[in-house]
Structure 1
Amino acid sequence: MEKKYQEVLSKIKQADSILIGASNGLAISGGIHIFAENADFIEQFGDFCEKYGFRNIVQGAFYPYPSEEEKWAFFSRMYAYFLKNKEASPVMKDLYELVKDKNYHVVTSNTDSHFTLAGFPNERLFEIEGNSRYLQCSSGCHDQIYQGDEILSDMARNQEDGRVPSQLIPKCPKCGGPMQVHVEVDRNFLKGEEWQMSFQAYKDFIEKAHGKKLVLLELGVGARNQLIKAPFMNMTNQEENATYITLNMGSEVYIPEEIAAKSIGIDGNIAEVLHQLVQLK
């Protein structure tokens, strides 16, 4: 295995550009599992589970709550759970250590804000499905998202019987209507100016990497997440000097025959793999 790790490190060292793609598998390795009915979920959301019948955080995010008080009770508690330590997890610290001195960019479908906690600057980060610490107008009456830390923290602290007090519920500063977290849970998700600028920076990075030594580092991206996986595989196939590196578990380490000669797959716990890479670096 160490030989494969050395190969990965060599590719990273030689790379002109590194494009990081991250999804749920990376979050899971850092202790956040939004698809699991595990002990953490029961401890944090057991009352919601009992009341509404959903079995994981994802189901809770898509649940049609009967009131704003109940909706914000869930989303503020989700925010508090994601950011409970207010510091980067060891796996995110190791990832940052691995690439911090390189020319890199990140695209992620994770909404937990852990890249920001680890020191990844916003200009190098495309959060394709949003970030749970930001708010937007539910009707999209205007093109702006708002920092929600103080509001969400306040609601998370002040809950009773799975509801937040009505006076704490945020209202759109423009139309006075309801707001929601800036996460893609419905068609109201705002792909406004900030989202478009992040998307453009992602595309610009790819364009500038054309023809150069490019590493596509895919972390915990499942087969169903084609928002990230398909472009990464296509770029590997099209770019002569590209290397596709995927870290995942079991059958999720899938490499098509077309790009096998330009790919490295490592089956294992992503946190442990990244830590080993940093140690060897």
Structure 2
Amino acid sequence: MYRQIERTAIPTELIPQCPSCGGDMEPWVRSYVFLEGSSYRNELRKYNEYLINNKDKKILFLELGVGTMTPMFIKEPFWNMTYSFPDAYYITINPKDAVVPQELREKGLAIKEDIGRVLQDALNGKGKRDSDIG
């Protein structure tokens, strides 16, 4: 099967087709190509307006399970906004890829644990400091 791919090119007849429109499927989604529809642009506009209108308020950027494969979509924007917004804070929860850049060490927290366990512990009140109880 793999011998049909020659010189890193895929023969046209092997490119999967979209079952809805018949167009060629996108071979690699780590790009902005798949993010160009009008629905995406409309939601992105609303998201950006919300952030700009609230940038001076307390904002928590909570990153759950985001890995390092596509940092330009979630990690880097969250880092930049946390750094730029005066009352923003960043928390990442991921058993392998929880990292806070040095520039955010006073405004961020990396939790290298299973997300399910962290959320369950939060629901159960575990990890509360004595000053938080009462």
User: Is the TM value for this pair above 0.5?
Assistant: yes
Task: Please give the per-residue CA displacement for 1:217-241, whole angstroms capped at 9, x wherever unaligned.
Answer: 0112223422211111111111111
Pair 235,180 (structure 1): closer, same or farther in 2 beyond 3 Å: same
Asked if 1 retains the 8 angstrom alpha-carbon contact of 2:82 and 2:89, the reply is yes
Contact 2:82 2:104 in 1 (8 A): yes
Q: Share of identical aligned residues, percent?
A: 31
Aligned counterpart, 2:78? 232
| C-alpha distance after superposition, 1:163-192 (max 9, x if no partner) | xxxxxx43x3xxxxx236789637863612
Q: Which residue of 1 aligns with 2:123?
A: 278
Structure 1: gaps of 5 or more residues: 1-50, 54-62, 73-137, 139-168, 173-177
Q: For the residues of structure 2 that align with 1:259 and 1:187, how far apart are their CA atoms?
A: 27
Counterpart pick for 1:249 among 86, 95, 99: 95
Are 1:179 and 2:23 an aligned pair? Answer: yes
Which structure 2 segments of 5+ residues have no match? Answer: 4-9, 127-134
Q: Greater relative contact order: 1 or 2 (C-alpha under 8 angstroms, separation 6 or more)?
A: 1
What is the CA RMSD across the aligned residues, in angstroms?
A: 3.2
Would the aligned equivalents of 2:55 and 2:86 in 1 still touch at CA under 8 Å? no
Alpha-carbon distance in structure 2 between the residues aligned to 1:183 and 1:278? 41
Q: Hey, what does 1:269 align to over in structure 2?
A: 114
Q: Distance in 2 between matches of 1:183 and 1:230?
A: 24
Output aligned runs, 1:61-140, within 5 Å: 66-67=13-14, 71=16
DSSP-derived class of the 2:52 partner: helix
Q: Distance in 1 between matches of 2:35 and 2:107?
A: 37
Secondary structure at 1:198 match in 2: helix
Once residues 256 and 219 of structure 1 are traced to their aligned partners in structure 2, the CA distance between those partners, rounded to angstroms, is: 16
Question: With structure 2 as the length reference, what TM-score do the two structures score?
Answer: 0.69
User: Structure 1 length as normaliser, TM-score?
Assistant: 0.36
Native 8 Å contact 1:219 1:248 kept in 2: yes
Whichever structure has more helix as a proportion of its residues is 1
- Cα deviation per residue 1:16-65 (whole Å; 9 max; x = unaligned)? xxxxxxxxxxxxxxxxxxxxxxxxxxxxxxxxxxx559xxxxxxxxx877
From 215, 219, 229, give the equivalent of 2:64.
Answer: 219
Q: Larger C-alpha radius of gyration, 1 or 2? A: 2
Q: Report deviation, 1:276.
A: 2.0
Counterpart-to-counterpart distance in 2, 1:235 and 1:190: 21
Does the CA contact (< 8 Å) of 1:183 and 1:189 recur in 2? no
Q: Would you say how many aligned residue pairs link Structure 1 and Structure 2? A: 118
Give the 3 Å change call, closer, same or farther, for CA 182–275 of structure 1 in structure 2.
farther
Higher normalized strand content (fraction of residues): 1
